[in-house]
Structure 1
Amino acid sequence: MELTDNFRTLGEFIIDKQEDFQYSTGELSRLLSAIRLASKVVNREVNKAGIANIIGKVGNQNIQGEEQQKLDVMANEIFIEALSQREVVCGIASEESDHFIEIKCGTNAHLSKYVVLIDPLDGSSNIDVNVSVGTIFSIYRRVTEPGTPVTLADFLQKGVNQIAAGYVVYGSSTMIVYTTGNGVNGFTLDPSLGTFYLSHPDMTFSKKGKIYSINEGNYFKFPQGVKDYIKYCQKEEDDRPYTSRYIGSLVSDFHRNMIKGGIYIYPSTSQSPNGKLRLLYECNPMAFLAEQAGGKCTDGFNRILEIQPTELHQRVPFFCGSFEMVEKAEEFMRNAAEQE
């Protein structure tokens, strides 16, 4: 990357934009800096995975009953360590952990106003075949009084209460994309300097795209509304058929669709009636980003950000992307439901 005066580092950007953040006290800047640091460490590990004997399964299962990859465990430890040491979060919930973690290190731990929910390595099964993976994070102000121990209620908040969210994509280049409720911006890592530079300012979804992303191998398990929408996408009419693109890593699929225009769908199935994606670690942060980028995100009927969580590892169906594409998918879902 050739550096010019137009390139701002992530650190500079965070400082410049502090006034746009209603709770600006410097703590959020420190929190985002911790995520930036952890992402660079994870990026290093991901890039040497094939030669460092850290690919493959670790032999354990996470709370969802899924086989943990070695890098899942490593990334989880890296992010928890980085976030814990800054004394700006009082609790962390991770997709890889059964329960939330109360942060007690430091003298000001209980005074911290923020909790973080994180999917440390989304799409980690793709590591073995050298396909892009990512990290997803979500930040809330706690609802209980600072100075008291963090509780489950601090994490079980609606997505509309998020104060920041984002993801890191570890691909041909490594990027951090995040929002604090004032648009979406992307920063690309210059590996020679170890610095993230603003490369994608004011990222937006086009209102209508031409890509649909769904695991069509599960077609016969999908609700009728999803089947009808897939047929609509494939029909030669007007500006269709659309292009089918599915990586199997939410971060990568979402990132591509935001840049090129498209919809990502992970619906309920006959085997998983609530879908597979986690509301708190994946759907809420991606929904916040999508809406800030002019897109839309629902469970097929209801706005994702308005769903009240009832448990840490709750799953929901997920329709996310270009506004008009999501609305059309919802139309097919409603029509099918009315005919049942």
Structure 2
Amino acid sequence: MQKQSVLPQVHTAIPGPRSRAMAAELRHWESPNVTYVSPEFPIFWESAAGCLVTDVDGNVFLDLSAGFGAAAVGHAHPRVTAAIGAQAGRLLHGMGDVHPPAVKVELLRALARVCPGDLNQAILAGSGAESIEAALKTTVLATGRAGVIAFEGSYHGLTYGALAATSRDDFRRPFRAQLGHFVHHAPYPQRPDEAARVLEQIEEWLRHPPEGIPPVGAVLVEPIQGRGGIRVPPPGWFTALQALCHRHGALLIADEIFTGFGRTGQWFASEVPPDILCVGKALGGGFPIAACVSSPAVMAAWGESTGEALHTSTFLGHPLGCAAALAAIAVLEEERLVERAAALGEWLRPRLEALPGVAAVRGRGLMWGLEL
């Protein structure tokens, strides 16, 4: 991409008058408790390119969140927008599980190439939460056990299966009466002594599930917790967790929706290939698409289709999403953005640690959290 100035430009009060007017209108038309609206929030985006976002009042901001991690190749990367436009001109909608678009096969082939180990079969989805749902279904089919161990501080999405695995009580409490009771949460370790204790606790639960939880078929984990505070486990813990799962016939599901596709300076943050890999966010270069990826041995549990898919949706394998994802993967490879994230992370860490008032710096690559 062409280099651009990354200096913010502020022309009005923040939020500006147009953002304030639109916030009042949004409050009128949108359900409460979707978008947070206050006298000082939000700003309304008009356009974005690279790392810069322009609001409806003409103010320009540096996006340090990369659009919640979705814009890993930058906002509106020309390669991605061109791919979406070209695909829209050919085929705007396909019948994903009946008469799929050709570009779906191309994306599945690309995913098999970049995903680790023998993870080369996928269920495509429209969001990260949907990919978690697919992983949970895959687990019960493959192991015959419905129980899942997740972690305190985890965030896996807000659809009901994903919400059952998410630990945040403020998200769960209003819907507890409708949530499935199949998940138990373990502490998420950040020190070696914590890691050993957590592994012992998980092994006990794999042998003897906690009261009210069915036999455990999977452990669901973020290699680095994102929304939970950029919490990084000790080296070797993920590998030991995988070995523990395999000793007890359980699957290890890695939620790499936030960490995947270069965010941490590696294609994926998992130390070893998990049994099931959930990806999203950066996969589509800013366009909504996600995937649950596993090995043929695990995916065989779904069985052959009898004519009606056991797990699908109208927009599964959407042509525009597939085209966007193919372009985003190509940009990551050709512009060596994964290697760039690793190098920038090495450059950035000591500078973050030197900031006044910073108690701790956690993260890897271009995924960092500061504890003040």
Fold shared per TM-score above 0.5: no
- TM-score normalised per structure 1: 0.27
- TM-score normalised per structure 2: 0.25
Q: Mark the structure with the bigger radius of gyration.
A: 2
Where relative contact order (Cα < 8 A, 6+ residues apart) is larger, the structure is 2
